[in-house]
Amino acid sequence: MLDHLAVRGIESFLPLYRSSRKWKNGCRVELERPLFPGYVFVRMPSTERVRVLEVPSVVSIVSRGRVPEPLDDQAIAAMRVGLPLGQIEPHPYLVIGDQVYIKDGAFAGLSGVVLRRKGSLRVVITLDLLMQSMAVEINLEDIEPFRKLVQDVRGSGQADVTKSYPVIL
């Protein structure tokens, strides 16, 4: 796909990070994996989006309504610099107000709500039994988003899970 973009004269960037995996036979292997699976970044004027959409396997361009939404050039530059240094790896998307599960550290096994992000995360943990809460500083790598299954509104008793839809590739 990157070759198709290059043939059309469209600058593209696929951020890859290194990941170490251990196979069942005990062998360790270093893999290059996409930082954002399903996404590739292209540099183009917004008026030339049809040229990108004609590339095989491209589904759409991230847009706000019908207008393509560009990513900040500073973010792309930071990825280009940080990836070769091994300083970047994927992490689930978090925003203030998200409920998270604490998987490591002193508060492992508890869940809370992200209060703010500045250096480390401040997470509010509620102790329902006491009807009290506490705010703690947590490292980003020690948490993961807490996903509750949503009960199907039709009353079938089946849980409705979030589905993934292709956006770009």
Q: What is the CATH number of the domain that holds 41?
A: 3.30.70.940
Residues 75 and 24 in one domain: yes
Q: Is residue 65 part of a domain?
A: yes
Question: Measured between alpha carbons, how far apart are the two ends of the chain, in Å?
Answer: 9
Residues 104 and 66 in one domain: no
Domain range enclosing 104: 99-145
96-121 burial, b if ≥16 CB within 10 A, otherwise e? eebebebeeeebeebebbbeeeeeeb
The pLDDT, as a whole number, for residue 67 is: 79
Digit-coded pLDDT (tens) for 75-102: 888 888 888 887 677 766 777 888 888 8
The pLDDT, as a whole number, for residue 117 is: 65
Digit-coded pLDDT (tens) for 14-29: 999 888 888 889 999 9
Digit-coded pLDDT (tens) for 130-155: 566 777 888 888 888 875 423 333 34
Q: Is residue 94 part of a domain?
A: no
Single pTM value for the model: 0.63
